[in-house]
Amino acid sequence: MALKAGIVKDWRYLNHDPGSFHPETPTRLKAIYELLEAPNVADAFELIEPREATLEEIALVHSKSYIQLVAGTAGKRHISLDCDTVTSAESYDVAKLAVGGLLNAVDLVVDRDVANAFAIVRPPGHHAEEDGAAGFCIFNNVAIAALYAIKKYRFKRVLIVDWDLHHGNGTQHSFYNDPRVLYFSTHQYPFYPGSGSIHEIGMGPGLGYTINVPLGGGPGDAEFLRIYRKILDPVARAYKPDLVLLSAGFDIYMKDPMGGMNVTTRGFAQLARVLLDIADECSKGRFAVTLEGGYHIDGQAQSVKAVLREMNDDTHASPETLEAVEQDADPAIDRVIRQVTEQIEPLWKIFQ
């Protein structure tokens, strides 16, 4: 019997409440969960129970002083960790649960108890730095998961892909001089948080293991797919990761109020197929996803469902389908692709 995709889903994630008018609202998850509880969907996926991450696990990325700062918010109504990131009484526990949910997902993926996994959690994480919150993010879920997998399973190489509208500054900084993690990001630029230029490619032993594809507004399914197939796919196959992780931000959705991108629900599934194929080829199928941003409530829910159906092999975008979609890309995107490959060409000989 074929393995199902796993999902981390727990209503306690709604207990992090940064305020009535905050974009990172519990309603984001509520809409996804309600969609996944529909009669024709509920039994399609394997439910993964989350746990609270230990302080030792969180300290793989974050300083002890910062963890203590966040712990000090427990039980307090509202505390601003930065201008965008606000806690409520239960946020510390929920943030630990978000990290632990993804870690449990990684464990089940590695143990082959599920085909792959999607941690549908909040708060998001990719902006969180070693010693500070940022951009709605408290703990950096995906960065912690990468180091957890390296430590526990002795993995030598982990690929983190980030398709959120906003650059994952915290994730990049966690691994900027570390070749054990290859970080690949597509994002709107210049935009919050201001990092992620084409020239940011790592340093020291990590030189070439950070790849940024900064984009102006406008790209949609075809343009993103061409970037992923022309840059990420060959680099990832040369890198041969032991595990593929995805920071899945759905604010590149075509109607998202924060962004200027034009990706459709089907486009998200096609991008996921590129990553699933990389994982199948290089990582024994080990692929885990964590939710980042996304602020069009229904669009995000439908896009998550489309990605999950692709992960579960209910849909399966063929190479021919991907090729046909890519052919419709605006030729202007080729200039961006050339600029990125020129930056990394001396380090990744595959482009020569």
**Least confident piece of the model among 38-42, 74-78, 121-125, 280-284:** 38-42
Question: How sure is the predictor about 170, in pLDDT bands with cuts at 50, 70 and 90?
Answer: very high
The residue length of the chain stands at 352
Place of tokens 């380090």: 347
Give the pLDDT score at 1. Answer: 76
Number of CB atoms found within 10 A of residue 112's CB: 11
pTM for the model: 0.99
Nearest to 263 by CA among 294, 229, 232: 294
Nearest to 63 by CA among 170, 209, 161, 152: 170
Nearest to 115 by CA among 2, 27, 215: 2
Whether the predicted pLDDT of 17 surpasses 80: yes
Sign, CA torsion 49/52/53/54: negative
Give the pLDDT score at 42. Answer: 82
Residues 263-320 pLDDT 10s: 999 999 999 999 999 999 999 999 999 999 999 999 999 999 999 999 999 999 999 9
Residues 323-349 pLDDT 10s: 999 999 999 999 999 999 999 999 998
Residues labelled catalytic: 127
Whether the predicted pLDDT of 253 surpasses 80: yes
What's the burial of 11, exposed, middle or buried (CB within 10 Å: 0-12/13-18/19+)? exposed
Give the pLDDT score at 348. Answer: 94
Residue 72 main-chain phi, psi, to 5 deg: -70, -10
The residues near 279 (Cβ < 8 Å, ≥ 6 apart) are: 116, 244, 285, 286, 287
Q: Which two tokens stand for residue 136?
A: 């709605």
Give the pLDDT score at 146. Answer: 99
Question: How sure is the predictor about 321, in pLDDT bands with cuts at 50, 70 and 90?
Answer: very high
Residues 140-164 pLDDT 10s: 999 999 999 999 999 999 999 999 9
Q: What is the DSSP string of 80-148?
A: ESSSS-EE-TTHHHHHHHHHHHHHHHHHHHHTTSSS-EEE--SS--TT-BTTB-BTTBSS-HHHHHHHH
* Domain architecture of the chain: domains with CATH: 6-351 (3.40.800.20)
Q: What is the DSSP string of 237-297?
A: HHH--SEEEEEE--TTBTT-TT---BB-HHHHHHHHHHHHHHHHHHSTT-EEEEE-----H
CA 201/CA 209 separation, integer angstroms: 6
CA 20/CA 11 separation, integer angstroms: 18
Rounded mean pLDDT of the chain? 97
Contact 203, 237 (CB under 8 A): no
Q: Which two tokens stand for residue 328?
A: 């419709």
What's the burial of 259, exposed, middle or buried (CB within 10 Å: 0-12/13-18/19+)? buried
Whether the predicted pLDDT of 40 surpasses 90: no
Give the pLDDT score at 81. Answer: 98
CA 138/CA 122 separation, integer angstroms: 10
Mean pLDDT of 123-136: 98
In the chain, the percentage of residues whose pLDDT exceeds 90 is: 97
